Amino acid sequence: MPFIFQYIKLSKPTSWASRTDLVTWQDHQVQSFLQKVLPQSPFYRKYYEHLSIEEWQSFPTINKSIMMDHFDTLNTIGIKKKEAFKLALQAEQTRNFTPMIKRTTIGLSSGTSGNRGLFLVSEKERMMWAGSILAKVLPRSIFGKHRIAFFLRANSNLYNSVAHGRITFRFFDLLTPLIQNLKELNHFQPTSLIAPPSMLRFIAEAQLAGSIQLQPEKVISVAEVLDPLDERVIRRAFGTIVHQVYQCTEGFIATTCAHGTLHINEDLLVVQKNFLDKRLRKFTPIITDFSRYTQPIIRYDLNDILTERADPCPCGSLHLAIEQIEGRQDDLLYFKGLDTDTPIPVFPDFIRRALITADEQITAYQVIQHRLGHIEIHIQSSNPDPVKLQQKIQINIDALCQSIKVESPIIAWEAYQHPPSIHKLRRIKRMYA
Ligand SMILES: [Zn+2]
């Protein structure tokens, strides 16, 4: 029974004595995985032709567009992209999320219409995933009673497979009217509440206003970047830290420990660091998942910016600790350089800090860049003097620009508006290529 086996395996304290032991173990896992999977995948077989498996760490990388372009020959069970897309789109339209081909779950990642990823998960992988996620996420043993409320854009057989024994799983569709979802949530009384942070924030505000009364043991943010501003409100509403699960089409990448630190799930996959700025410890992860055979993810360059934690986490875990997930690499803003004609990339986190430290009364924001030299700032605050607030933000942005030697952008001020919806909230985003 892969589910319970995986649960028990991951629930036990790890047996590696050191980081070196862990890395050696991973190397064995990947090599044995490659030996089994490469003969089954025509794409990878050709891609790595004449390369030696021992040198997998420097194999050419893939990314989303390579994976989608070669979907038909990359997967190991001969599922065609056309057929899988058709079925997955149908599921989203009918909101009946149980599509399968050859007993394989088909799912769609979010994204713009031309840029959506497809995932394939076999029955065994689905059970393994459920075992892994429960081991890493449940606040107590699987043998107790749990009610898991899960808000997402789309449901999947994958998520439903966590319902076992005394675990009740309830999917809340983000397309359902918010008021109805709140009412049902209040009735359901989840022990674990899992949702994108924009939805968690909305639920937290309803809780603070007294219109619902929940006592979740664990609150978990998924699918969007958790902004410190939202984290504060959610924590205050439920009196507990906000945990995170970093999971995407490409894998179940990281989860928070009891201290709220994100750790890479290095017992499930390998993350290699592609540094964007080594001094700032910022990198994009290259993922090799040594347990996925149906749709192998090997040296996959994921377009997310992560920051490695500078000091070890007090929990003592050997797993790589992440200070924060910053968002997608596409959301780096670009400002004009002072001494160069080349536009300079600016990390979303710099902008975030310039904003939220400007004034304590800021309650929500969004920064959007449509073209070089300009940004739009959408702001919500309880400060009665909006002009003064804008001046404070301007001072912080100017100071930031000076320190990184770029020209201050021209700022257009807008009122903030973003109700939770099926569209992912990206508080900082760039809208041009
Ligand atoms: Zn930790």
Residue 35 has a pLDDT of 97
Overall number of domains in the chain: 2
pLDDT of residue 13 exceeding 70, the answer is yes
What is the predicted pLDDT for the residue at 113?
A: 58
- Rounded to an integer, the average pLDDT of 277-303 is 96
Mean pLDDT value across residues 119-126 = 92
What was the pLDDT predicted at 384? 93
**Ligand 1 mean position to 242 CA, how many Å?**
14
CA of 328 to the centre of ligand 1 (A): 24
Å from CA of 264 to ligand 1 middle:
10
Same domain, 318 and 340: no
Q: Which residue has the higher pLDDT, 14 or 174?
A: 174
> How high does pLDDT run on average in the chain?
93
> Kind of pairing, strands 251-256 and 262-264?
antiparallel
Same domain, residue pair 385 and 241: no
Lowest mean pLDDT among 106-115, 197-206, 215-224, 342-351: 106-115
Last residue of a domain, one of 281, 298, 328: 328
**Which residues, at least 6 apart from 311, have a Cβ–Cβ distance to it below 8 Å?**
none
CA–centroid distance, 428 to ligand 1, in Å, is 27
More confident residue, 57 or 423: 57
Distance 261 CA to ligand 1 centre (A): 5
Ligand 1: distance of its center to the CA of 247 in Å? Answer: 18
More confident residue, 362 or 109: 362
Residue that is last in its domain, among 299, 328, 357: 328
Summarised one tens digit per residue, pLDDT across range 162-217 is: 887 899 999 999 889 999 999 999 999 999 999 999 999 999 999 999 999 999 99
Average pLDDT rounded to a whole number, residues 316-342: 92
Q: Is the confidence at residue 112, as pLDDT, over 70?
A: no
What does the pLDDT average to over 303-308? 94
DSSP 140-153: S-TTS-EEEEEEES
Distance of CA 314 from the midpoint of ligand 1 (Å):
6
Assess whether 171 and 211 both reside in one domain.
yes
Assess whether 286 and 391 both reside in one domain: no
Res 111: pLDDT:
66
316 and 354 part of one domain: no
If you write DSSP's letter for every residue of 203-244 in order, what string do you get? HHHHHHTTS-----SEEEE-SS---HHHHHHHHHHHTSPEEE
Domain with residue 368: its CATH number is 3.30.70.2210
Q: How far is the CA of 271 from the centre of ligand 1 (A)?
A: 17
- Ligand 1 centroid – CA 199 distance (Å): 26
Same structural domain, 273 and 407:
no
Q: Cα(259) to centroid of ligand 1, in Å?
A: 6
Sequence-distant (6+) residues with CB within 8 A of 176 are none
Centre of ligand 1 to C-alpha 406, Å, is 36
What are the tokens at 308?
Answer: 């490695």
How many angstroms from the chain centroid is the CA of residue 108?
A: 15
Ligand 1 centroid, distance to 257 Cα (angstroms): 5
> Could you report the per-residue pLDDT of 64-84, keeping only the tens digit for each?
999 999 999 999 999 999 999
Domain that includes residue 110, residue range: 2-328
Q: Do both 304 and 363 map to the same domain?
A: no
Residues 412 and 281 in one domain: no
- Chain segment 83-99, per-residue pLDDT in tens: 999 998 888 888 888 87
Q: Is the pLDDT of residue 362 over 90?
A: yes
127 and 242 in a single domain? The answer is yes
- Do residues 417 and 309 both lie within one domain? no
Residue finishing a domain among 301, 328, 355: 328
**Residue 263 and residue 140 share a domain:** yes
DSSP annotation of 288 reads E
192 and 63 assigned to the same domain: yes
Does the pLDDT of residue 150 top 80, yes or no? yes
CA–CA dist 411, 125 (Å, integer): 48
What spacing in Å lies between the alpha carbon of 194 and ligand 1's midpoint?
A: 20
Q: Please give the average per-residue pLDDT across 284-300, as a whole number.
A: 97
Half-sphere exposure in the Cβ direction for 343 (13 Å, CA): 13
Specify the CATH number for the domain of residue 292: 3.40.50.12780
pLDDT of residue 199: 95
pLDDT for 59: 98
The reported pLDDT for the residue numbered 252 is 94
| Whole-angstrom distance, CA of residue 294 vs CA of residue 407 | 49
